[in-house]
Amino acid sequence: MSRKVDIGSISIGGDSPIAVQTMYDIPLSQLEEGFEARMHVLKGMGCDIIRFSYPHIAEHDVLCKVVDLCPMPVVADIHFDWRNAMDAMDCKVAKIRINPGNIGAKWKTQEIVKKAKDMGIAIRIGLNSGSLPKTERNISMSELMVDTALEYISWFEELGFYNTVVSLKASDSQTSYEAARLFASKSDYPLHLGVTEAGGVVPSCVRTTWTLGRLLSQGIGSTIRYSITGSIENEVYAGVELLRTLGLRNGGVRIVSCPMCGRKSFDSQGFLKDVEASLLATGKNVTVAIMGCQVNGPGEAKGADLAVTGIGSKVYLYRNGEICKEVEASKAKDELLRAVEEFER
Ligand code: SF4
């Protein structure tokens, strides 16, 4: 079992549940309207930690505001300038992510570590295959990543700092897999798992699920991130689904939907697209089926708590397999969301 590390209000590693995280997709300088509401939606979907790129101390006030508004621990992602890490910690972020290899002289990383130790802030040593020190040794990329991480860990331990998380990411999923396995055989620091630059929704979900699923099944990994060229909501959704599929997370909204076929009398695809984010954000412990026809839909959705299908302009809502309501299509989304909110086991 890995050692436990505190990330603000949550812990990872040890016997803690595997945490899902994502990274905000907009520069802090352009913080969007509705930011706080979006963070709460992400939290409802199952996001445990969120990371923000912090490239310049000019955004100090925005970062402090973000820490105040986010309902989950905030991580500042720092590259190159150690002073940005020092500044971010003044905003009381829960964790700093650095690659000591691009921070420069060792003393700069040590200054970050000393301050993090004083303030009880965690640090992730985030190594990517594209930014490793050069070596004359004839070793594989995964070995180089692990050796480099262990070297940086020794710098931290020299200062009595142990609140460390490690990530070893490559865009090649096999290298990510081998690096994580090798690291876990040599160290008990918790691992943040991911496949970097994994691509759009389909390639990322396939590569990341294949890689992380095998590692998590072996008990390796304490926190996960899907890196998707797409929405961060999908990153969280994919992470939570993987954990649920592996039996590592319970609860939350589980959506069952049919692929549709020539028998369809209801646009289950369009309805799902419209309602999916709101459904997930409820965070309720409920299984909802969205089916394309009344012929096979209810039967196929038997295991669901609530189900929806329709004919023409009529939509039928089922509870525990029985029709409980018939509504106009235009009201179906609101009716389903109300039924989910009211649902009790
Ligand atoms: S529920 Fe109906 S529309 Fe959907 S796949 Fe089954 S038979 Fe086809």
Pocket probe for ligand 1: among 256, 272, 294, 300, the residue whose CB has the most ligand atoms within 8 Å is 300
Q: What is the CATH number of the domain that holds 21?
A: 3.20.20.20
Classify residue 202 by burial, with Cβ atoms within 10 Å: 0-12, 13-18, 19+.
Answer: exposed
The answer to whether residues 40 and 172 belong to one domain is yes
Q: Which residue has the CA at smallest separation from atom 1 of ligand 1? A: 297
The rounded Å distance from CA 322 to ligand 1 centre is 18
The rounded Å distance from CA 2 to ligand 1 centre is 45
The answer to whether residues 104 and 124 belong to one domain is yes
Q: Which residue has the CA at smallest separation from atom 5 of ligand 1? A: 260
The answer to whether residues 175 and 93 belong to one domain is yes
The answer to whether residues 85 and 209 belong to one domain is yes
Nearest to 306 by CA among 329, 285, 289, 326: 289
pLDDT in tens, 56-109: 999 999 999 999 999 999 999 999 999 999 999 999 999 999 999 999 999 999
Instruction: Provide the b/e sequence for 227-245 (b: ≥16 CB within 10 Å).
Output: bbebebbbbbbbbbbbbee
The answer to whether residues 128 and 264 belong to one domain is no
The rounded Å distance from CA 293 to ligand 1 centre is 5
The answer to whether residues 181 and 108 belong to one domain is yes
The rounded Å distance from CA 269 to ligand 1 centre is 11
pLDDT in tens, 30-61: 998 999 999 999 999 999 999 999 999 999 99
pLDDT string in tens for the chain (345-residue length): 899 999 999 999 999 999 999 999 999 999 989 999 999 999 999 999 999 999 999 999 999 999 999 999 999 999 999 999 999 999 999 999 999 999 999 999 999 999 999 999 999 999 988 778 888 888 999 999 999 999 999 999 999 999 999 999 887 889 999 999 999 999 999 999 998 876 899 999 999 999 999 999 999 999 999 999 989 999 999 999 999 999 999 988 999 999 899 999 999 999 999 999 899 989 899 999 999 998 877 787 778 999 999 888 899 999 988 899 999 989 999 999 999 999 987
User: Could you give the number of structural domains in the chain?
Assistant: 2
User: Which residues span the domain enclosing 169?
Assistant: 5-245
